[in-house]
Amino acid sequence: MNLTRRGFLGSSLAGLALGPSYGQEKVAPPADVSTPFPAPSAEIAPFQPNTLFLTWQRDPTSTITVQWVSAKGETADTSISYSSLKNGKWQTQASTAKPYPLTDLKIFRSELTGLSPGTDYQFRIGKLSPIYRFRTMPAKATNPIHFISGGDCGVNLHTIANNIQAARQDPMFALIGGDLAYENGKSVEINLAFLRNYSKHMVARDGRLIPLIAGIGNHEVDGGYKKPRAKAPFFYALFDGLYPDTGYATLDFGDYLSLVLLDTGHTSPIGGEQADWLEHALKERVDHPNVFVVNHVPAYPSFRRALGVAGKEGTGEANRKHWVPIFEKYRVPVVLEHHDHTFKRTKPLLEGFSDKNGVLYLGDGSWGKLRTPYQPEQLGYLAASSRDYHLSLHRIQGKDRFHLALDENGRVMDVCKSGQRITGMVQVP
C-alpha cells in the first residue's frame, strides 16, 4: 500500500476503534513555563502530531528519544527545543527523518542526550506545537520505581481502556512485550492507529508523556516466525534505535534495574547466538538487584499446549530448552511473558517445579486480546489465571518487588511479591 501525504492528512481511521477518551482530560502546560518564543495552547497549536511518543535507545537516566510519524513538509521546522523545568534554559536539536514503511510518510526522531537524571523537562517541535513534558529516570532508586507492563494490545476499545488505566497509575514507563498493533508487518492503518491511541491516552496526570519500551512478537512480523528483519518493517523502523542489529537487547537503569528483552524466534533464533548472548548479558548483571526478562511466546503457557503432539513442538519448548536453564543459573527473579491472551501467574519454578527460590513467570498478554486459560488445578505450574483484560503494575521498593495485576476497570486482580535475587550494586560497563 502507498499511503500518500493527502491520504494521511485526510484520513480519520475512524473504523479502527480509536474510540472515546473515557474522560481523559487535556493537560495544559504548567503555568510557570518559560519559553524563548510564544507557545500556542494545546487547543490552537497548528502542529500537534497525533503519533508522537517517547522511547529510549540507551541510558534512560540521561536520554530520551522523541518520535512521530508525519508527512514531510507538514511543518517546516521539525527541530526539538527543550529545557528542564528547573532552570528554563532552552536548547535546540535537529531531528532526522527516515521512511515510514509502505508509504511516503516519514518517521521523525530526535534523541536528546546529556540530560539530568530524575528531572522534569519540557519540549516542543519547532515553533508551532504545544509544549510537552517528560521526566528522566533517576540515577539511584532512593524512591520507589514503578512501571507498567503487558502485551498483545491491538487497537480496540479494551486496548484504549487499558491504556487509560495504565496512565492513571502514573508509571515511569510502559513496557509492551510484543504484538503491539497486530498489523502483521503489512497494515499501515493499524500500525498508525496503535500509535495514535498510545499518543492520545498514555499521558500521566501531570501531563508527562509516558515512554514506551517495546519487544517484538509474532504479529509484528509478516509470517510470524523465522523471518528476516525486513518482514517486521514497522517494528524496526520505530525501534531500531534499541534493536540496531537483532531482535534482542538490554536496557539498564542506573544500578537498580535491568531489562533483558528477547526475541522468541520471530527474527532471531531462540538458540545459538541469542542464547549465548543471553548468558553473557545475565552474567554481567548477576549482582544487579532487579533483572526483568521480557519475551513474547511464553515458556510456561496458560492457554496453548506446552507439550508437543504428533511431532509438533509445544509452546515454549525452545524457551525451556535454551533459556530457562540460564534464567535459573543466574537467578532471574521475574520473566514477563505474553502471547496467550490471558492473565497468568506461575509458582516460582525451578526445572518446572515449585520452589521458593525459583523464577516467577507473569503474563500472558491480554491488554487487548482475550482467551480462556487453563486453571491451576489443570496445570501444576500455575498459581493463578483468569480470563480478563489486564496489565501489570510493578513496584520496586528497596529490596522488595511487588507485582499487581489490574483489569481494564482498575480492579486489582492479583498481588504477589518476587524474591530470590542476590542483591548488589554493580554497574554494567
Is residue 424 a contact partner of residue 254, using CB atoms and an 8 Å limit? Answer: no
- The predicted pLDDT at position 14 comes to 29
Residue 5 pLDDT = 43
Q: What is the pLDDT of residue 306?
A: 87
Q: How much is the pLDDT for 412? A: 96
pLDDT, position 423:
44
Mapped onto helix, strand or coil, the DSSP state of residue 326 is: helix
Tens digit of pLDDT per residue, the chain (429 long)?
344 444 433 332 323 333 333 334 444 444 344 556 677 777 788 999 999 999 999 999 999 999 999 999 999 999 999 999 988 899 999 999 999 999 999 999 999 999 999 999 999 999 999 999 999 999 999 999 999 999 999 999 999 999 999 999 999 999 999 999 999 999 999 999 999 999 999 999 999 999 999 999 999 999 999 999 999 999 999 999 999 999 999 999 999 999 999 999 999 999 999 999 999 999 999 989 999 999 999 999 999 998 878 778 889 999 999 999 999 999 999 999 999 999 999 999 999 999 988 999 999 999 999 999 999 999 999 999 999 999 999 999 988 999 999 999 999 999 999 986 654 433 443
The pLDDT, as a whole number, for residue 139 is: 97
DSSP notation for 22-51 = TTPPP-PPPTT---SS----TTT-S---TT
Dihedrals phi, psi of 198, to nearest 5 degrees: -65, -45
Residues ≥6 apart with Cβ < 8 Å to 113: 62, 63
Q: Which three cell numbers stand for residue 283?
A: 552474567
DSSP state of 209: B
- pLDDT, residue 422, reads 55
- Number of residues that make up the chain: 429
What local confidence, expressed as pLDDT, does residue 87 receive? 86
- pLDDT at residue number 35: 59
Q: Beta strand 132-135 with 145-150: parallel, antiparallel or unpaired? A: unpaired
- Rounded Cα–Cα distance for residues 124 and 350 (Å): 49
- Whether the CB-CB separation of 172 and 147 falls below 8 Å is answered with yes
* CA dist., res. 208 & res. 318, Å (int): 40
